[in-house]
Structure 1
Amino acid sequence: MNRKKLQKLTDTLTKSCKHYVPEKPGVVTGLDRNVFRNILHVTFGMTDDMIMDRVFRGFDRDNDGCISVSEWVHGLSLFLRGTLDEKMKYCFEVFDLNGDGFISKEEMFHMLKNSLLKQPSEEDPDEGIKDLVEITLKKMDHDHDGKLSFVDYETAVREETLLLEAFGPCLPDPKRQMEFEAQVFKDPNEFNET
């Protein structure tokens, strides 16, 4: 995308975001965590609090607690139109809750526990989730060290792309993505490369 088209996209997105505060030198401004979570929930249908907080961290690249215009545009670019490689890196970072470069059994357990519907039954639901973590490790842990490195995750996703969001939805579903783009862009082909 050339600079002129990117600037037009930035202007369009900034104007369409009613809750956005313009940037001022020396002042932290932008979308705060609550406004951003509301956008994720209302616009993209996300409901998992832990995942929404991790998505916020993915967009807030400078960790200042607000998403600036450039972070918003960069994040939406990846979120909506990223390549598989970009989305794998992004999803892995969302799922790596403690930022140590691995997705541990404990991290898998917490994410799956939050994202799975609770069913009334006589069994302990935590046992079912532990079983699911073990099954997931068998499928994705290629070096068999009991945790997922990015290489393990990438290999598994390349074999089966459905595993991209194995631990919870952190990307918009295609229907919500199309609705968002139709709302923001009057002509959806306006920003495509020619």
Structure 2
Amino acid sequence: MSRKRLQQLTDSLVRSAKHFNKKEVECLIKLFHTLATESRDRFAAVSLDRNMFRNILHCTFGITDDMIMDRVFRAFDKDNDSCISVVEWVEGLSIFLRGTLEEKIKYCFEVYDLNGDGYISREEMFHMLKNSLLKQPSEEDPDEGIKDLVEITLKKMDYDHDGKLSFLDFEKAVRDENLLLEAFGPCLPDIKSSMAFELKTFKETNEL
């Protein structure tokens, strides 16, 4: 990428990915190109495909649930073209790593709303909780325990009592109790992995 193009891209991304400064945006663009060229033939458009992105989520940020990784990919992939562009990468990481509570509530809701209809239904909760809970060998029917958990969750978070969570339900529940932000499975990096990523990625800016 030419210096001029890098400059233009950086200037534009500093405005849209507002949690990073100019130097940090440059580091993220360079990292993106390193990751994308490592696994692409040189004639393809520079982007991260689903597998490459899932690998980053898994190895760098410790996200292990297949369904959640897939949903995080979709949350980053704003134009739905099945790959992550450099703009989607930097803007996505801005929220993923440093988002405000408001931004993280929107992001987590988008991840958990599996069919994109604006609600988290009983079925969606069941799927996600079933994946994220450890199965107890002694249980006769582990599904029963998950159904109970779904009901308990609805009781706590479903403010308008319509049997599903709207964005407003989810937002109110999380504002009342921040721990509910990742109620249906970890889709944000823990502090340790996000700090390690930032230290490594922004190493040169930290040394200035």
Shift of 1:8: 3.0
In the other structure, the counterpart of 1:31 is 48
Other-structure match for 1:78: 95
Instruction: Please report the TM-score for the alignment, with normalisation by the length of structure 1.
Output: 0.89
Deviations 1:20-49 (A, max 9, x none): 24xxxxx75300000000000000001000
Residue aligning to 2:80: 63
Of 20, 27, 43, which aligns to 2:36? 20
Quick one: percent identity of the two aligned structures?
Answer: 73
Q: Aligned runs of 1:141-152 on 2, under 5 Å?
A: 141-152=158-169
Q: Contact 2:121 / 2:163 at 8 angstroms: preserved in 1?
A: yes
Measured at CA, do residues 103 and 181 of structure 1 come closer, stay the same or move farther in structure 2, by a change above 3 Å? same
Which structure: greater helix fraction?
2
Gaps of 5+ in 1: 22-26
Deviation at 1:11, TM superposition (A): 2.3
Counterpart of 2:136 in structure 1 is 119
Contact 2:24-2:205 at 8 Å conserved across structures = no
Give the distance between the partners of 1:134 and 1:46, measured in 2 at CA: 26
Cα displacement (A) at 1:133 = 0.1
| Residue 104 of structure 1, aligned match among 117, 121, 124 | 121
User: Match for residue 9 of structure 1?
Assistant: 24
Whether the 8 Å contact between 1:140 and 1:148 is mirrored in structure 2 is yes
* 8 A contact 2:49–2:84 mirrored in 1: yes
Structure 2 residue matching 1:57: 3-state secondary structure: helix
Over 3 Å counting, the alpha-carbon distance change for 1:126 and 1:106 in structure 2 is same
Deviation at 1:10, TM superposition (A): 2.8
In the alignment, structure 1 residue 180 sits paired with structure 2 residue 204 = no
Alignment partner of 2:183 out of 144, 153, 166 = 166
Equivalent residues of 1:28, 1:66 under 8 A apart: no
Code of the residue aligned with 1:12 in structure 2: it is C
Gaps of 5+ in 2: 1-9, 15-19, 38-43
Given candidates 145, 148, 153, the residue that maps to 1:128 is 145
- 8 Å CA contact 2:23–2:205 kept in 1: the answer is no
Instruction: Give 1:15 deviation, angstroms.
Output: 2.1
* Contact 1:59–1:75 (8 Å) recurs in 2: yes
Tell me the distance in 1 between the aligned counterparts of 2:144 and 2:154.
15
Q: Contact 1:14/1:20 (CA < 8 Å) preserved in 2?
A: no
Task: Output the aligned Cα RMSD.
Answer: 2.1
